[in-house]
C-alpha cells in the first residue's frame, strides 16, 4: 500500500470539490471535526468568501491510497496546526500498514515550512534527487520549483 498525499491551494478546485469530499473526510478523518467547525463558524462556510482552512479527502485507486490536503493560508497558526495533525495521522497510518509510503507536497511553500516538515522526520526528494534541509541546494531547488505549478516535492515517510 502506498500513500500518496497531494497539496494544493487552488481555490476553484477547493470550492468545486469541497461538498463531495466532506462526507469522505468525515468518515476517514473524523478526529479533525471540520464538519462541526463548518456548522459553528461562518469563517468555514463554503458559501462565504472565506473557505475552510483545509480538509482531507481519501480515495483508493488500485494499490494506491490518495490523500488530498487543502490548506489556504499556511501562515496562519490554525492552518499549520491542521497540517501538522494531518501529517501525524498519515504517519500513523503508514506505520500501521508497515508499507512504503510517499507524500507529494507542492513546492510552493517557503523554506521555513520545508524545514518544519523535515523536522517531522521526513526526507525530501525531488525528481529522484535527495536533499538535506541543511543543504542550500534544497532552498534553490524549492525556489525554482515554486515558479512552476506542476512541480512537486516528494516527502518519504521514514519506515
Higher pLDDT, 72 or 153: 72
Show me where the domains of the chain are located. Answer: 2-156
- pLDDT of 100 higher than 60: no
Q: What local confidence, expressed as pLDDT, does residue 90 receive?
A: 54
23-38 residue pLDDT tens = 333 333 333 444 454 4
**pLDDT in the model for residue 48:** 27
Which backbone phi and psi does 59 adopt, to 5 degrees? -150, 150
CA 106 to chain centre: 8
- Sole residue written with cell 521526513: 122
**Residue ranges of the alpha helices (H) in the chain?**
11-28, 34-40, 77-97, 111-119, 136-146
Residue 73 CA to residue 7 CA, distance in Å, equals 12
Tens of pLDDT, residue by residue over 56-83, are: 444 444 443 344 444 444 455 655 665 5
**What is d(CA 72, CA 142) in angstroms, rounded to the nearest whole number?**
19
Confidence of residue 47 (pLDDT cuts 50, 70, 90): very low
Residue 79: per-residue pLDDT:
55
Q: Judge whether 46 and 37 are in contact, CB under 8 Å.
A: no
Neighbours of 50 (CB within 10 A): 13
CB atoms within 10 A of CB 34: 20
Amino acid at each position: 500500500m502506498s500513500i500518496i498525499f497531494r497539496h494544493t491551494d487552488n481555490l476553484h478546485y477547493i470550492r468545486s470539490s469541497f461538498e463531495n469530499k466532506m462526507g469522505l473526510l468525515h468518515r476517514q478523518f473524523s478526529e479533525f471535526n471540520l464538519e462541526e467547525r463548518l456548522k459553528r463558524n461562518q469563517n468555514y462556510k463554503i458559501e462565504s468568501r472565506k473557505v475552510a482552512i483545509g480538509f482531507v479527502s481519501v480515495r483508493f485507486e488500485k494499490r494506491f491510497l490518495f490523500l488530498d490536503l487543502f490548506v489556504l493560508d499556511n501562515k496562519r497558526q490554525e492552518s499549520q496546526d491542521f497540517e501538522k495533525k494531518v501529517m501525524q495521522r498519515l504517519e500513523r497510518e503508514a506505520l500501521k500498514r508497515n508499507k512504503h509510503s510517499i507524500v507529494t507536497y507542492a513546492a510552493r511553500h517557503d523554506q521555513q515550512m520545508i524545514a518544519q516538515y523535515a523536522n517531522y522526520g521526513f526526507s525530501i526528494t525531488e525528481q529522484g534527487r535527495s536533499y538535506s534541509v541543511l543543504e542550500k541546494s534544497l532552498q534553490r531547488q524549492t525556489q525554482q520549483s515554486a515558479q512552476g505549478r506542476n512541480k512537486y516535492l516528494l516527502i518519504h515517510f521514514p519506515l
